[in-house]
Structure 1
Amino acid sequence: MFNDIKTSLLQIYQCIFKPITFTDYENSLDKKSKLRLLLKLSLVSFIFSIFTVSTIRIISFYFFKVLFDWTFLILFTLVPLCSVVVGIVVGIARGKAGGIAYGISGGIAIGIAGGIAIGIAGGIAIGIAGGIAIGIAGGIAIGIAGGIAIGIIISIARCITFGISEGISEGISEGISEGIALGIFVSIALGIFVSIFFDISVGISVGISGCISFLVFYSRVFYILPHLIQYFRAKFSNDNPFRLFRKSPIYWDEIIIYPLPFLTDFLLLLTEKDRNKGLSEIEFVSAKRPTQRKAAFNALLQITINDLSKLESIKAIPDASGNVSFLSSFEGFLPKEFNRTLRIIDDLSIDVRNYLNSSSNYNKLKNLNNIESDFIDIKKSLIATKGPVGVKFLSLVETWSQIIEEEKKQFKRTDMDSFEEIPNPYIFGNPVKADNSSRLFVGRKDVVELIKSNLTSNNSQKPALFIYGRRRVGKSSVLVNLHKLLEKQYIPAYIDFQDPKYGESQPSFCYNLSKVICDSLNDRGFSFENPPLGSFQSNSFTTLGNWLDKTEELLEKENRLVIICFDEYEKMEECIQNGSLTTAILNQLRNIIQHRKYFVVLISGTNEFSELKINWSDYLINTKLIKIGYLSKDDARTLITNPIDDFTLNYKGGQDGETVNQIINLTNCQPYLTQAVCFELVNYLNSQCRKEACIEDVDLAAQKVLGSANAYFDYIWNIECTDEEKEFLHKMIKNVYGEGNEREINSLLRKEFIEKVDGIYKFKVELVKMWIKKNSLLN
C-alpha cells in the first residue's frame, strides 16, 4: 500500500516536472493500462488536493481569522474532481502524448486553486513575494502560509504540462508558446472567477499574481542559482565536474524553459576533462533536454572550431573530415546551416588532399586555383549565414585561405626553377563541357545544325528528335552543351536516365521531370516553381499536365521552347520491364509531342528502336533520326594539337605529320579513344620532362589506354557482341573469315566494329583489335 502511494506520488511528480519521461512510459502502455494508471493517479491527486485545500483553509483561519465557510470548501473540493474527469476524457479522446498528464496536473492545479478564493488579501501579497523571491521550496512554504502562492504556482502545472507535452508531439517552440498563452489565460480566468464570488480587488490580485507566478514557475528561473553554484564549483574546485553536472538542475527537470547561463561553458568544461564523456553529456542535453538544445549546439560548434583551428598547415587540412567525424551522432539535432557548412569543409579537405596527391605540377596548380575559387564562394556563403555558424567558421576559413595563398606563392617559386609541365586538359569518360578556353568539345556542327533545322520549322507540332550513336561517341556531350550551342529562345532540360530517381516510380518520374524543367527555366532567369513531390502521389499525370499548362503560358508569353532531353533512353525501357514504371510514361511523352506546342522531346541512346522490346515507334511518332558518329579528321587534329590555349605539347612532323597521323590511325577519330590516347601521352611526356612527341611515344600511350580504358573495351565486347559476332571477329584477326556470315557482318557494320574498305572487311578502330589480341580472346 505504502509503495503504491509512493509510486503514485513519484508519477505525479513526473507529470509536472518530467513530462517527457512520463510520456515515454505512458506510450509504452496499452489502452487498458493507461486507463488504470489514470484512475489511480486521479484518486491520489484528488485526495492530495482536498488535503492541501483544507490545510490552506486552516492556516488562513489561524493566521488571518478568516471564517470557515463549508460552502466554499465543498465547492473548491469538487473542482479538482471535475478536472480529473475532464482529464480522463482528454486522455482517452486525444490519444496523444501527455493525455494522462493533463488530467493529473489539472486536477491538482484547479483543486489547490481553491485556496485562492478562500485566502485573504494579506495572504495574496505574502504568497506572491514568496513565490518569486525564494523559489520553489521557499515559495511553497510561504505560499501555503499566505493561502495564495501555492495555489497559483501549482495551478500552472497543468499549463506547463500541456505546453511541454504538446511540444513533444507537435514541436517544442509551438508547445512552449501554447503553454505560456494557456497559463496566462487560466490565471486571468481564475481572477474573473474569484471576482464573481468575492470582491473584485481580490479577483484582480489573483489574476495578476497568477500571471507573475506562472511565468516564474514556467521558465524555472529559480534554477539559475543552483545551476551557477554547480558550474562555478566545477570550474574552480577540484570536485568531479561530471558528478556536479549530474546533480545540477539540468538533470532534475526536463522542462527548464529559461536558457541556463554558462551551460555551454559547463559542457565545454566537461569535454576538456574527458572528451568522450563530455560528448555523451552534450548528446544527453541534445536528445533529452530539447529546451536547452541551443547550448548543446553552441558547445559542439565551439569544439568543432577548436579542433579545426589546430590544422595550421596545408598538409593538416585533409584531416578535417576525421576531426569532425564525432558529429555524426548529432546529425539529427544540428541546424541545417551547420550541416551545410560541414559538408563544404569536408569537400574542401578532399580538394586539398587531391592537390597534395597530384603528381603533375599542372594538376597541382589547377587544384590550387580551384581551391582558391572555392574559398571565395565559401566566404560569400558564410557571410550570408545568420547566427554563430557564419561568424565562427568565417574566421577559420580566413585562416585557411591565407595558408592556401602562401602555398600557391611557394609553389610558383618552386615551379619557376623546374620543368614546366604540359597541361593535361583531356577528359575521357565524362561528358565534355564547352568553355571559352577549351576546344575539347570540337566538331558536331552538323549535329547542332540538324537539331536547329527541326526546331525552327514552321509546323506547330515539332517532331521528336532521336540522337543515335554508338557508345562513347559524344552523345551526352552534345546534350549537356545544348544550352551554349543553341539560341536563347531554346531551353534544354537535361535528364540522365542512368540516375535511378527518374525510374523509382511514376510519381517520382513526374516530379523529377517537372523539377528539371523548372530548374532550367530558373537558370534562364525565370522565377518558376514546380509542385512538391507529395502532390504527385495520386493522379501523377493530371498534376503534371496541369503544371505543363501553366508552364506553356509562360513559354508562349516569353516566346521560349523547352527541349526535354532524355539521355540513355534505353534505361526507361528497363524500368518499364521491371515494373517501376509503366507504358503510361510513353503515352505522356506522345501527348507532349502531339499537343504541347512549346515542348520538344529529344532522346539519345546507343540502340535503335528495332533493337528494343517495346515498340517505341508507336509512342515517339514522327521521330527524326540524327546520327552522331566519329569526329572528322580536321576536328580530331584540333583536339590533338590545340585543345586549349597555351598548349605546350609539340608533335614531331607538326599537325599533319606522322605522329599526329598515328593517333588518328589508332583511334579512327573515335572521340573517347582519341582523348584517352592524348591523356596518356601528355602524362608520359611529363614524366620524361619532354615536350615533343614522336610515334614511339604514341604507341606507348596506346598500350596504356588498353588498360586504362578497359571498361569501355570490355563493355563493347561482352555486352554488345553476340557469341557469333565474337567468333567472326576472331576469324578476322586471323584473316581466315569467309563468306556466308551476312547476319553477323551486317550487325558488326551497324555497331561500327568493322567497315568495308576496297571490298575487304577490317576493324574500324585499330585499338579495339589490339585490345582483343592483348586480352587473349582468340581462343
Structure 2
Amino acid sequence: MTPIPLDQIRLRWSHHKSALWWLGLLYRRPHIFRATIDKSEKIIKNRIILFFVCINLYSHFIPYIFIISILMRFILHGFIGIPTSAFPPPSNMVENIYFHLFNILIGIAVGIAVGIAGGITVGIALGIAGGIAGGIAGGIAVGIAVGIAVGIAVGIAFGIAGGITVGIAFGITGGIAGGIAFGIAFGIAFGIAFGIAFGIAVLRVYYYLFHLFFVWPKANGRLYIYHPVAWDNLCSIPFRGLDQLLLAYVDHTNEEGRKEIERLIDTYPSQRMQALQAKTALIARDASKEKNLSKLDSYTYKLPEGEKKFLKQTPKVREMVSEICQIQRRLDTLNRPFFREPIAFSLIKEIESFQDRISGFYEPLASEFRKAAENWRQIAQKQWEEAKAVIEKKPTAQVFRAGDPVDRGQEAFIPRHGVIGEIESQVMLSTGCPGLIVYGRRRIGKSTLLKNLSIFLPSSVRIISISMQQAQAFSSTESLIRLLATEIQYSLNFKDINTENLNDLQTFFKFLTQCNQHLQKEENRLFLGIDEYEYIDRKLGERVFSNDLLATIRESIQTHRQLTWVFVGSHEITELSHAEWPSFLVSARTIVVPPFSEAETRLLLTEPLKYSPWWEKDDPRRPRFDPTFWGNGGIERIHGEAGGWPHLVQLIAETIVDLINDEEAHEVSPNLMERALNKAIVRGDTVLRQLMHGECKLPGEWNYLRGFRARDTQAIPEDEELYRSLKRRLLVEEVGGEWKLRVPLMQRWLRERG
C-alpha cells in the first residue's frame, strides 16, 4: 500500500490504516522510519510537529493497547488469580469494571509520558548540545530511543522508533500492571510487566515459538520470507537453526537467498553468526560441486574469519585445501601416465587425510567440508583409475626427455655428485668462496644441475639462480639489479629494505652488504647463480651494461663472504671478448661439468626416477629398467653413440622407449637400436646442428668438421686456434695420431643431414 505521509497523519478513521502501517514500519524497520523523518522538511524545521506525529501514531494504537490490556488483565486476575490492590475490593461488577478501566487508562497515560514526553525531553537536550538547528529533530529521535527502549537504541543509531514502540509497550504493560502495582503482589506484577515490555519491544522472544515451525521437522525455504528475521530488523535473540533455513532458502531461490545471507551479515548483528554459518556451509557446498580440484582454493579464500568457534579455524581449512590444490595442479602438468598414477594416488590420500582432520573442527566446517571432500575423493579416484588403466595397457614408462632442464620429479635424472661435491666444498669454505665459474658445453646439463641443486647442498645454503636470457635481466643495469634483489629478498625473507629504491649499483651494493650481515647473523650462506652469463658480455659489447657492473660484482666477491657468486655458462672465460673478465674474476674458481661417465649413463637408464620425490625409496611402482631391457650391450652402445653427452643420452633413450611402445616390444633388439639412432638424428636435428655447425666461429672450422662425412679420421689441424676450439667443444678425440669425431651420433647426423 501507499500510506499517507507521516506529517499528514491525523486522528481520523481514514488515516487509521496508514498509521498502523507506519507503526509496523517503526517496529520492524526503524532505520527506514528515521530516514523518512530526516527527509521531511516540516518535521526537521518544527519539532512540535514531531511531537504531534508521535501523539497521533500513539493514539491510533490506543484501542489495541486497551484490548490487549483487558485480555492480559483477565488472564492475570481472572485465570491465574493474582489479587488486585483495590481496598476495599470492588463489591460489584460495576466497581470491578471501573477499577480495571481506571488502571488501564493510567497505563496508557504512563506509556505516553514515558514513551514520548521523556524521549522528547532528552532529545531536545541532545539537539541543543549538538549546536545545530537541524540536528534537534534527530536529537529528539535519539533521545526517545535512548530514554525509552534500550533494545531499540542498540539496534538503531538514531531513531524515534524506540520512543513510540516502547511507549506502546509501556502502555500495554502499564494497562496490565497498573492495578497490580500497588497490590499485595507488586514485585511479581512489576516483573511481569517489565518482562512483557522487554520481550515485546526489545527481545521479541515470542517470535521463537513461530520460528520453530519454520525449521522443524525440516527447514522450509519457501516460507523464509514470512520469518521474522526477513521483515523485522530488531530480533535480538539469535534463532537457532536459522542457518539451515537460510540454506533452504538458497535452494529455493538461489540469488535472493545469497543476497539475504549477505544482508544479515552486514546489517543484523544478532543473527550474524547464524548467517556466517550459512555462508560457510554454502561455500563448502559450492566447492563440493567443483570438478577441477585445482580451483578449490578460489572458494575457500572467501571463508569468513574471526576469533570465535569455527571462524578461528577457517585459515587452517584454507591451508589444507591449498595442499589439495597444489597436488592437483602438479597432476595437471603431467601427461605421462606413469607420473600421473602416483601423484593421483597421493591426491586421494591427501583428501582422505583432510576428511579425517576436518572431522574434529567446529560446525559447520566439520560436516559440510567432510561431505565436500567425499565428492573430491571420487574425482581423484577417477583420475587415479584412468592413469592406472593406461599404465596397464602401456607397460613401458616414457620418463626420458631431451629438452629443457630436467624436472627430477617426473623426468629421468641423476645428480652429478662430482660437480656437486666441488661446489659444496667451495661454498662452505670458512673464509668464504671467492666466486665460481661453472663451465660446460651446451646441453651438458648445467641448467639441470642448477635447478636441482638445493636438495644436495646443506640446508644453511640458500640458492637462487637467474638466467641472463630473461628480458628483465638483460634490458638494463637497473632492471638486472632489481631482479637480483627481488630474488634475494624472497629467498631470505628479507624485508628490511624496499627493492623498488634500488636504481643504481651503489644502492645495490649497500643492499648486498645488508644481506651479508643478515646471513652472517643467521649463520647461512647464499648461492647466487647467474646462468648463461655470457649474455652479460654481449650486453657489455652493446653498451647496455658497463664495466662498473663487473667491478661491483668483484668488490662484492671480495667483501661479502656469506655470498657466493656463481657464473654458469657454455663458454670459457677466455672466449668472452667485451671485457677483461679474467681481471674482474681473478680469484674465481672454475668447475667443469663433464659429459656422463658410463656409470652415470647406466644409472640414468636403469634408475631414472631414483631421486623423484613422488615415490618412496623402495616403492615397487617407481619405474625401473632392467639392464636387459636395453638389449645385449645396449647401455654401453647408447653411452658410446652419445659420447656421454647428457642431452643425447636422453634423446636416444626417449626414442627407443617410443619405438618399444609403438611396436609393443619388450626389449631393445639390434634392429630396433639401429632404427632408434636413425630416428634420433631427425628428432634432434636442431640441437645437433647447433652443436656441430652453429658454434663454428673460426674460418675453416665447419669445413674441417664436414670432412668427417667421407672419412672416419682426419689429420689434426695445424691451426692453433682451430685446434683449441674443436678440443674445447668436446667434438674430437685422437686415435692413432689423427682425430675422429668423439660422438658417433654427430657423425651419423653429419652424413645423413649435416
Taking structure 2 as the reference length, what is the TM-score of the superposition? 0.59
After superposition, give the CA deviation of every residue in 1:681-703 in whole Å (9 maximum; x if it has no partner). Answer: 23433554544323322233335
Q: By percentage of residues, which structure has more helix?
A: 1
Aligned counterpart in structure 2 of residue 647 of structure 1, from 604, 619, 625: 625
Q: Distance in 1 between matches of 2:628 and 2:437?
A: 39
Residues 632 and 57 (structure 1), Cα distance of their counterparts in 2 relative to 1, 3 Å cut: same
Is 2:567 aligned against 1:603?
A: yes
Which position in structure 2 is the counterpart of 1:25? none
Contact preservation (8 Å) 1:562, 1:598: yes
Tell me how far 1:414 sits from its aligned partner. Answer: 12
Aligned counterpart in structure 1 of residue 130 of structure 2, from 75, 79, 83: 83
Residues 625 and 298 (structure 1), Cα distance of their counterparts in 2 relative to 1, 3 Å cut: same
Contact preservation (8 Å) 2:7, 2:43: no
Q: Distance in 1 between matches of 2:721 and 2:150?
A: 99
Match of 1:693, SS state, is coil
After superposition, give the CA deviation of every residue in 1:5-32 in whole Å (9 maximum; x if it has no partner). Answer: 99xx9xxx9x98489xx9xxxxxxxxxx
After superposition, give the CA deviation of every residue in 1:387-419 in whole Å (9 maximum; x if it has no partner). Answer: 75466445654687699889999999999xx89
Is 2:248 aligned against 1:269?
A: yes
In the alignment of these two chains, the number of paired residues is: 617
Which position in structure 2 is the counterpart of 1:702? 677
1:323-334 matches, cutoff 5 A? none
Aligned counterpart in structure 1 of residue 726 of structure 2, from 749, 757, 761: 749
Instruction: Letter of the 2:596 partner, please give it.
Output: L
Instruction: Letter of the 2:567 partner, please give it.
Output: I
Tell me how far 1:650 sits from its aligned partner. Answer: 0.7
Q: Distance in 1 between matches of 2:421 and 2:113?
A: 102
Instruction: Letter of the 1:465 partner, please give it.
Output: L
Q: Distance in 1 between matches of 2:211 and 2:324?
A: 36
Q: Distance in 2 between matches of 1:74 and 1:397?
A: 61
Aligned counterpart in structure 1 of residue 423 of structure 2, from 438, 451, 459: 451
Is 2:414 aligned against 1:441?
A: yes
Is 2:276 aligned against 1:294?
A: yes
Aligned counterpart in structure 1 of residue 166 of structure 2, from 124, 143, 153: 143
Q: Which has the larger radius of gyration?
A: 2
Which position in structure 2 is the counterpart of 1:622? 587
Which position in structure 2 is the counterpart of 1:515? 490
Which position in structure 1 is the counterpart of 2:254? 278
Instruction: Letter of the 1:624 partner, please give it.
Output: R
Instruction: Letter of the 1:478 partner, please give it.
Output: L
1:8-407 matches, cutoff 5 A? 17=31, 46-47=44-45, 51-52=49-50, 63=109, 77=124, 79-80=126-127, 83=130, 85=132, 109-115=138-144, 124=148, 127=149, 140-144=163-167, 236=220, 241=222, 262=241, 264-270=243-249, 272-273=251-252, 278=254, 281-282=257-258, 285-286=261-262, 290=266, 294-295=276-277, 297-304=279-286, 307=289, 319-321=291-293, 343-346=322-325, 366-367=342-343, 370-371=346-347, 374-375=350-351, 388-389=364-365, 392-394=368-370, 397=373
Tell me how far 1:489 sits from its aligned partner. Answer: 8.3
Contact preservation (8 Å) 2:284, 2:372: no
Instruction: Letter of the 2:423 partner, please give it.
Output: I
Tell me how far 1:453 sits from its aligned partner. Answer: 5.1
Tell me how far 1:531 sits from its aligned partner. Answer: 1.8
Tell me how far 1:549 sits from its aligned partner. Answer: 1.4
Contact preservation (8 Å) 2:469, 2:535: no
Match of 1:563, SS state, is strand
Aligned counterpart in structure 1 of residue 465 of structure 2, from 495, 515, 538: 495
Give the stretch that moved more between structures: 616-625 or 720-729: 720-729
Contact preservation (8 Å) 2:348, 2:381: yes
Percent of pairs identical after alignment? 16
After superposition, give the CA deviation of every residue in 1:137-183 in whole Å (9 maximum; x if it has no partner). Answer: 9855343468999xxxxxxxxxxxxxxxxxxxxxxxxxxxxxxxxxx
Which position in structure 2 is the counterpart of 1:685? 660
Is 2:437 aligned against 1:466?
A: yes
Give the stretch that moved more between structures: 589-598 or 228-237: 228-237
Contact preservation (8 Å) 1:231, 1:266: yes
Match of 1:650, SS state, is helix
Residues 723 and 444 (structure 1), Cα distance of their counterparts in 2 relative to 1, 3 Å cut: same
Q: Distance in 2 between matches of 1:146 and 1:448?
A: 85
Q: Distance in 2 between matches of 1:731 and 1:49?
A: 107
Q: Structure 2: any 5+ residue segments left out of the alignment?
A: 9-21, 59-105, 173-193, 305-313, 474-478, 611-617, 619-623
Contact preservation (8 Å) 1:53, 1:115: no
Match of 2:568, SS state, is strand
Q: Distance in 2 between matches of 1:718 and 1:235?
A: 78
Contact preservation (8 Å) 2:513, 2:560: no
Residues 372 and 449 (structure 1), Cα distance of their counterparts in 2 relative to 1, 3 Å cut: same
Instruction: Letter of the 2:435 partner, please give it.
Output: A
Match of 2:461, SS state, is strand
Instruction: Letter of the 2:461 partner, please give it.
Output: I
Taking structure 1 as the reference length, what is the TM-score of the superposition? 0.58
Is 2:644 aligned against 1:669?
A: yes
Q: Distance in 2 between matches of 1:399 and 1:130?
A: 46
Match of 1:630, SS state, is coil
Match of 2:289, SS state, is helix
Tell me how far 1:668 sits from its aligned partner. Answer: 1.1
Q: Distance in 2 between matches of 1:376 and 1:140?
A: 58
Instruction: Letter of the 1:52 partner, please give it.
Output: L
Match of 1:692, SS state, is coil
1:477-492 matches, cutoff 5 A? 477-480=448-451, 482=453, 485=456, 488=458, 491-492=461-462
Tell me how far 1:226 sits from its aligned partner. Answer: 9.4
Contact preservation (8 Å) 2:244, 2:278: no
Is 2:575 aligned against 1:552?
A: no
Q: Distance in 2 between matches of 1:71 and 1:301?
A: 48
RMSD: 6.6
Q: Structure 1: any 5+ residue segments left out of the alignment?
A: 23-39, 87-103, 150-208, 309-318, 519-529
Residues 585 and 600 (structure 1), Cα distance of their counterparts in 2 relative to 1, 3 Å cut: same
Match of 2:437, SS state, is strand
Q: Distance in 2 between matches of 1:225 and 1:561?
A: 69
